Structure 1
Amino acid sequence: MKLIKTIHYTYSISEFYLNPEKGDIIELKHLPEGRIKKYKLSKEDNRLTTLKQLKVNND
């Protein structure tokens, strides 16, 4: 998996990874107290379009 983007929020950090084999994007959200949550971005998520555009522009 390849890191696409890191976003720093007030109380968390989100890292977005591209899985080239499946073509999907995974979000790892680092929360307070060391907790980590993993999300698979759905096709309805508006961030998915933006992140795919970033990936194309960075290649």
Structure 2
Amino acid sequence: MPIHKNDDLPRSFVAVAELENFNRAAAALGCKQPSISRRLKNLEEMAGTELFKRGARA
């Protein structure tokens, strides 16, 4: 698993939850969408469950 700064994973989770969009969360955090997706995937693996429903209009 990639090493992240201590606050990268929770900040990414909160940004996606508040903005309801991976692209907007990435822009707000100053990174790219694949980075947000990777962070959330890592967080989901740690939690052992899906945290967000993914889809074009979800």
- Structure showing greater relative contact order (alpha-carbon pairs closer than 8 Å, 6 or more residues apart): 2
**TM-score bracket for the superposition, by shorter chain length:** 0.3 to 0.5
TM-score by length of 2: 0.36
The structure where helix makes up a greater share of residues is 2
> Given the two structures, how large is their TM-score scaled by the length of structure 1?
0.36
Greater C-alpha radius of gyration: 1
Instruction: Give the structure with the larger strand fraction.
Output: 1
